[in-house]
Structure 1
Amino acid sequence: MSTAHHPFWPKGMPSTLTLPDVTLWDNLATAAARYPERPAVVFYGASLSYARLAREADLLAGYLQYHCGVTRGERVILLSQNCPQFFIAYYAIVRLGAVVVPVNAMSTSQELAYFVEDSGARVGLLAQEMYERARPLLDDGRLAHLVVHTYSDYAGRPLSAEVPGWVALPRQPINDPSVTFLADALAAGRPAVPERFGPEQMSILPYTSGTTGHPKGCVHTHRSVMAAVAGSAVWRGLHSESVFFSVAPLFHLLGMQNGMNLPVFLGATVIMLPRWDESLAAALIERYRVSMWSATPAMLVDFFSNPVVRERDLSSLTLLAGGGAAMPEAISKMLREQYQIDFNEAYGLTETAAFLHANPVQRGKPQCLGMPTFGVESRVIDPDTLEELPPGEVGELITCGEQVMVGYWNNPTANEESFLIRDGKRFFRTGDLVSVDEEGYFFMRDRLKRMISVSGYKVWPAEVESLFYHHPQVQEACIVSVPDRRSGEAVKAVLVMKPGATHDEADIIAWARSKMAVYKAPRFVEFRSSLPRSATGKIQWREVQDEQQLTHVAEAGVSGD
């Protein structure tokens, strides 16, 4: 499906982009030179200008270089909720040609340990409330140094009632010689003198899970990240005067690209919230005249369902964009009729630095993945024979483009399984089952890989099942998804307990939340005496999953939903 010959390609758009031959740090340096006093980030009433952002990122880079020994290519953990310090830390790391390893802020100590060990990181930048999770890694030597930041240092003064208590918390003393507070690192006052590197240098190593249950690092360069950022800017007509709303987590590619890298590329302003609060979000959009917001459909459904939102002036909102799940048609219709906004549905993966497919802004289709964007070529193949399929048939989506990752970190087996060569081009196998309509628009049909999407976060059942087998009373576990209005899908555990074990759903859920990130932990538990198995003894998860879908439909029919 070549974009150059797509019948509904946006008028006036090129089929490919000439990407800036620069790094992510160059984007920030350029924005600081062009718009030094413009707010880069507004956080609870406090503004961080582009000049200050670039200066502090450079000083932190210098500290990492001279006091922590961070060099080009070295991986550095970044663990934090959304805040201006996330921007500073991220750009300090890429300033050195080092590699950002963004870790989900909900990760447990055990999950953090895996990311540290797999990436080989020895330095971490993190928020102070996450120190206790990282401390065991300092104690046993897996981490050598931590730079800790405090959210309240960059919030407005005096702190208003809008600021939640956990953000307003002042800096807490940490008596650990391996820990430096961000303020002290900046006070060292030594700018970086980085090694030379270009756009092909590795820039970020975000992790995505696989069907084996082990998270895999996605190797991205400055160029692959830039391809997605520049493509999104041109496709959606964004510019330096756009005002972005950022609440999607920055450790996730949706938030990282649309709530940080894209506005920095443009020199635009970001209005930021660290956690979701629909009433405050509406107030901030009105107060700062936000024009662009990328969010998951679940977040937007929650937002526009709140009666408080209707009392706010949202006329500045020009574009809503997102992916991760289909936007309900009723919400899309409401946005068009009440707010004159078309939700720009798109499709991307951690492996593609987010932006890959998108609907034309002026000619989108509901619940659609859109079409391949600039320079992207996507095809549909039979996942077994690998033969290309004609329009209308369901098959696996494979894709190639400059935003596609180099490969999985230190995982040749996964790379061999995930890439194939067609017509001299290297295509990535997405594992998503799609079809293409007669006009060349792609639609999601199913998942070849076994994955659950909770508000855009990937949950891999095999990973959760493996954790459940550590529960002393669980004999067998099957993790499936159930539909959920707020999050799109929710996680459900179907369990067979050991003889004599107790059957308490609340205790099981509480145990799960202590062992894994909250979004991975099941919200529902069902106890059974046995699970269906194949002739070879494998649990038939698909059969269990299909039963859940039928049960949901039946219950919805009875309740009148």
Structure 2
Amino acid sequence: MNTPRACAPHHRFWPPGVPHTVRPSAVGLSHYLAVAAQRYPDKPALHFCGQSLSYAALQQRVEALAAWLQRRLGVRPGDRVLLMSQNCPQYVLGFHALLRLGAVVVPVNPMSSATELDWLQRDTGARVALLAQELLPRAQALLQSGALQAAVVHAYADAMHPSAVGAADSPWPEPFHQPRQALTGPQLHGLEDALAEAGHARWQVDGGHPGPEALAVLPYTSGTTGHPKGCMHTHGTVLASNLASQVWRQLHAESVFLSVAPLFHMLGMQNGMNLPLTLGATLVMMPRWHAPSAARLIEQHRVTVWTAPPSMVIDFFAQPDVLQRDLSSLSLLSGGGAAMPEAVATLLAERFGLAYNEAYGLSETAAFLHANPLHRGKRQCLGVPTPGVVSRIVDPETLAELPAGEVGELVTSGPQVMQGYWRNPAATEAAFFERDGLRFFRTGDLASVDEDGYFFMRDRLKRMINASGFKVWPAEVESALYEHPAIHEACVIAVDDARRGETVKALVVLKPAQRGQLSEAELIAWGRERMAVYKAPALVEFVDQLPKSGTGKILWRELQEAHRQRAQAAPASATDPAPATSSAAA
């Protein structure tokens, strides 16, 4: 186990009662759910759209689905399986059934295009997918080619209370109200039919629970090469993050979590699903973000814990009637992905007595890595290294450690850090180095540490856009834009966005014959058909040429800096069209 250096500055402000290291678990994630079902069989594991599911019922369904996947589809330990859906109980069921088998979950953004899904299938070698029925068309080509051998399909409405399905005042979009559709073809299987068959046959899973060393989940994070990279997380790395978060934030089995951040993303996966289920706590799940519904659910279920990106929190507290809401049960409001604006932090403290507990983590670290002590937080701060974590600021070129106050690359070592990138040894080698007996991960984030040992984000070493906590790599977006027949050159930059933190802007040079033939709106719509909404450009500017270096490389830094200078001189809200917002944060 990694041990922080003695007498680190932040230890002076260490939370009382929190150990400097957390003992690693000797069992895997599925063991925790089984124990919670034994301890609290009748306790609600989750609430969803007026329906509750007890721990006993959830565990029974997990075991049944796992047995069916094993018997009918031949899913074995180590097999990668795609999981693609909006937030719903079926997502939780599928995720933990796969973990029970020792299979590896490949969480897929439900906004992913068919092209992006095809790439993930080829990279992982997945032959089975679990997905929501409205997303089935995106997988049809893979099923027809035989790349995917089977798909297990669910309908959200099956998990909702009948009174909530089709309700006139429902805030949820049409796919959530669609009844179960008929499936044709031997490759397609209904989730409820699979559960019924397993229950009738009384099938049981062959084999015990996987251990902490078993690969559990492959969340994909985009790379500067334009291709996403799979982060190899074991049951042990995922649990290391969860267990440290529990003790740091004083969470327990009676905590009630609002689960609304997307479950395919590490923020939602860990804080809105794995953490409460590991505790035996209750999660209140929303299909997607809707501020009035969040307020109602916090009141109704006496929610105590809510983890959300700043954009979601800002939206929530901008509601006109929020001061009339009973939010007294809410004791912990936390998140990351972007700094919380000072004005909003002040409102939370003065009007609601809440401090937004800012934290820092990455897909590569299973979310929880740094956090502010609850009793002594600093605003717009990444916090301090949490139990078992050692972080340093180094020179990006020499990797020499830098003194407090100087800006350098944040590197980190801890039990929650991934094993490496899936089938990408070159990227893994570039991302890690060893020093003082520790294996450090290079985050690519430029930061500094103050005299108290608190870390602050300064910039990004890598060329990356942070849209509501989701990473967008310009090279990937540019690669897609170049497929448009009218585009000669393209450069993608970040634009400040009060809601999302940053959004995507494309500077485009059209081919001479195409100038005046393509509008900004048409190109934005084209991009959204081929990329997840949060990746697709929300803003487009046509230019005559792009600046280049002597070797012909587009000077993206120059373009980025020029835009920022213009934005400072004339606020974007007064000059630029309003950026389209993405539902990804929900």
In 1, distance between residues paired with 2:298 and 2:566?
40
Structure 2 counterparts to residues 4-403 of structure 1, below 5 A: 5=8, 6-159=11-164, 160=167, 161-162=169-170, 164=172, 165-189=174-198, 190-194=203-207, 197-403=210-416
Is 1:517 aligned with 2:532?
A: yes
CA 1:3–1:332 in structure 2 vs 1: closer, same or farther (change >3 Å)?
farther
Cα distance, 1:548 vs. partner?
Answer: 1.1
SS state of the match for residue 442, structure 2?
Answer: strand
SS state of the match for residue 231, structure 1?
Answer: helix
In 1, distance between residues paired with 2:149 and 2:572?
57
CA 1:515–1:559 in structure 2 vs 1: closer, same or farther (change >3 Å)?
closer
CA 1:119–1:12 in structure 2 vs 1: closer, same or farther (change >3 Å)?
same
CA contact (8 A) 2:30 2:210 kept: no
CA contact (8 A) 2:359 2:383 kept: yes
Cα distance, 1:195 vs. partner?
Answer: 5.5
The AA in structure 1 aligned to 2:5 is S
In 2, distance between residues paired with 1:558 and 1:383?
35
Is 1:533 aligned with 2:542?
A: no
The AA in structure 2 aligned to 1:548 is H
Structure 1 residue aligned with 2:474, among 461, 481, 486? 461
**Structure 2 match to 1:2:** 5
CA contact (8 A) 1:3 1:376 kept: no
Cα distance, 1:20 vs. partner?
Answer: 2.5
Cα distance, 1:176 vs. partner?
Answer: 1.9
**Structure 1 match to 2:561:** 546
In 2, distance between residues paired with 1:559 and 1:266?
48
In 1, distance between residues paired with 2:413 and 2:262?
26
SS state of the match for residue 345, structure 1?
Answer: strand
In 1, distance between residues paired with 2:355 and 2:209?
43
CA contact (8 A) 2:113 2:530 kept: yes
The AA in structure 2 aligned to 1:481 is A
Query: TM-score of the superposition, structure 1-length normalised?
Result: 0.98
Give the aligned CA root-mean-square deviation in angstroms.
1.4
In 2, distance between residues paired with 1:272 and 1:417?
38
CA 1:407–1:560 in structure 2 vs 1: closer, same or farther (change >3 Å)?
closer
CA contact (8 A) 1:396 1:430 kept: yes
Query: TM-score of the superposition, structure 2-length normalised?
Result: 0.94
Cα distance, 1:557 vs. partner?
Answer: 9.1
In 2, distance between residues paired with 1:144 and 1:16?
44
Deviation digits for residues 458-477 of structure 1, max 9, x if unmatched? 10000000011100010111
CA contact (8 A) 1:3 1:9 kept: no
Cα distance, 1:197 vs. partner?
Answer: 3.4
Cα distance, 1:196 vs. partner?
Answer: 6.0
CA contact (8 A) 1:468 1:512 kept: yes
Structure 2 residue aligned with 1:444, among 457, 463, 474? 457
In 2, distance between residues paired with 1:401 and 1:522?
35
The AA in structure 1 aligned to 2:381 is C
Structure 2, unmatched stretches of 5+, are 577-586
Is 1:434 aligned with 2:447?
A: yes
Q: Which shows bigger deviation, 3-12 or 271-280? A: 3-12
Deviation digits for residues 104-145 of structure 1, max 9, x if unmatched? 010000001111110110000011101111111000011001
The AA in structure 1 aligned to 2:223 is G
In 1, distance between residues paired with 2:319 and 2:88?
25
In 2, distance between residues paired with 1:250 and 1:237?
23
SS state of the match for residue 526, structure 2?
Answer: helix
CA contact (8 A) 1:57 1:88 kept: yes
Cα distance, 1:560 vs. partner?
Answer: 12
**Structure 1 match to 2:580:** none
SS state of the match for residue 444, structure 2?
Answer: strand
Q: Which shows bigger deviation, 328-337 or 551-560? A: 551-560
Deviation digits for residues 166-204 of structure 1, max 9, x if unmatched? 212100112121011011110122221136631100000
**Structure 1 match to 2:489:** 476
In 2, distance between residues paired with 1:557 and 1:81?
32
CA contact (8 A) 1:44 1:162 kept: no
CA 1:287–1:442 in structure 2 vs 1: closer, same or farther (change >3 Å)?
same
Cα distance, 1:386 vs. partner?
Answer: 1.2
The AA in structure 2 aligned to 1:493 is A
The AA in structure 1 aligned to 2:534 is Y
In 2, distance between residues paired with 1:101 and 1:269?
25
Deviation digits for residues 58-89 of structure 1, max 9, x if unmatched? 11001110111110111010000000011100
The AA in structure 2 aligned to 1:2 is R
In 1, distance between residues paired with 2:573 and 2:259?
40
SS state of the match for residue 163, structure 2?
Answer: coil
CA 1:53–1:558 in structure 2 vs 1: closer, same or farther (change >3 Å)?
closer
CA 1:3–1:535 in structure 2 vs 1: closer, same or farther (change >3 Å)?
farther
CA contact (8 A) 1:44 1:163 kept: no
Q: How many residues align?
A: 561
SS state of the match for residue 482, structure 1?
Answer: strand
CA 1:345–1:439 in structure 2 vs 1: closer, same or farther (change >3 Å)?
same
Deviation digits for residues 461-505 of structure 1, max 9, x if unmatched? 000000111000101110001111111111000011101212410
In 2, distance between residues paired with 1:11 and 1:557?
44
In 1, distance between residues paired with 2:184 and 2:107?
26
Deviation digits for residues 135-170 of structure 1, max 9, x if unmatched? 110000110011101101010122244363321210
The AA in structure 1 aligned to 2:432 is F
**Structure 1 match to 2:583:** none
Structure 1, unmatched stretches of 5+, are none
